[in-house]
Amino acid sequence: MTVTTTSLTKAAGIAAAAAGAIFIAVQINHPGMDSFLTDTTEWVVRCIAKAFMCALALAGITGMYLRQVRQMRVLGLVGFLMFAVGYLLMLCTVVMAAAFLPALTHPAPQFVNDVVAANEGGTTVGSIGHLQVLFNITGACYMLGGLVFGIALFRARVLARWAAVLLAVSTVGTAALAVLPESFNRPMAVPEGVAMVGLGISLWRDQRKSSGTADVRPTTPETAAVR
């Protein structure tokens, strides 16, 4: 099988759509963080699903940026780098949550509760060290990167503009969760998932059209003679 730029970009579109779908799926029947036990199979499964989501999202936004790098200009580069760092740090966080927190649930329950609370924007009782810095950087890169990247996508006029607007609004809108009840956490995550699905499908369709156009060659007297 020949690997082409078009096929890689199509794959990036599928990855983005899959990331959005997983992001929506993990919100369904998600237990409240104050009652979610970190040493359960459900915790590990949901964290692993979020890790796959982050990896797929990284591949998806990379494909989006490379598809329209000229149209997105410097603004797109800044937004892409910040958004990518946000997803990369989020990937590290969920891997840590799946690999280490279950083992610390009983030996250090207060530390585990504080880590979960800090990651969700809640109040901690004790110190979690530099993990708080990691969570702050992750949140800042994710929100600002999503906002700037969404604006750049909208201005580029290549992919679905409604999805670009939804991405920008939904990512920066997560800042409101700091003052909203926890019951808003799951519903407010759905719009970004929808945005990623929309952008992924738009990228896949764009490459499908491009590949179809590339296969159409004008008929000339020379080519007609060959035929």
Instruction: Confirm whether 182 is domain-assigned.
Output: yes
Cα 85 from Cα 142, distance rounded (Å): 8
Instruction: Confirm whether 217 is domain-assigned.
Output: no
Q: What is the pLDDT of residue 37?
A: 81
Q: Which domain holds residue 84?
A: 5-209
Tokens of 43: 């915790």
Q: What is the pLDDT of residue 226?
A: 37
Model confidence band, residue 225 (pLDDT cutoffs 50, 70, 90)? very low
Q: How many CB atoms lie within 10 A of CB 178?
A: 10
Residue range 77-109, pLDDT digits in tens: 999 999 999 999 999 999 999 999 999 988 998
Nearest to 145 by CA among 120, 168, 161, 177: 168
Angle, CA of 80, 12 and 152, to the nearest 5°: 30
Sign, CA torsion 54/56/58/60: negative
Instruction: Confirm whether 154 is domain-assigned.
Output: yes
Cα 46 from Cα 43, distance rounded (Å): 5
Instruction: Confirm whether 227 is domain-assigned.
Output: no
Overall pTM surpassing 0.95 (yes/no) = no
Instruction: Confirm whether 221 is domain-assigned.
Output: no
Cβ atoms of residues 153 and 72 within 8 Å: yes
Instruction: Confirm whether 226 is domain-assigned.
Output: no
Q: What is the pLDDT of residue 53?
A: 97
Structural domain count of the chain: 1
Q: What is the pLDDT of residue 149?
A: 97
Cα 132 from Cα 89, distance rounded (Å): 12
Model confidence band, residue 57 (pLDDT cutoffs 50, 70, 90)? very high
Instruction: Confirm whether 219 is domain-assigned.
Output: no
Residue range 112-161, pLDDT digits in tens: 988 988 887 777 888 898 999 999 999 999 999 999 999 999 999 999 99
DSSP letter for 55, please. H
Does residue 205 register a pLDDT over 70? yes
* CA separation, residue 146 to residues 12, 69, 140, 154, 181 (Å): 17, 16, 10, 12, 23
Residue range 9-56, pLDDT digits in tens: 999 999 999 999 999 999 988 887 666 788 889 999 999 999 999 999
Comparing 178 with 197, the larger pLDDT belongs to: 197
Does residue 201 register a pLDDT over 90? yes
Instruction: Confirm whether 74 is domain-assigned.
Output: yes
Does residue 179 register a pLDDT over 80? no
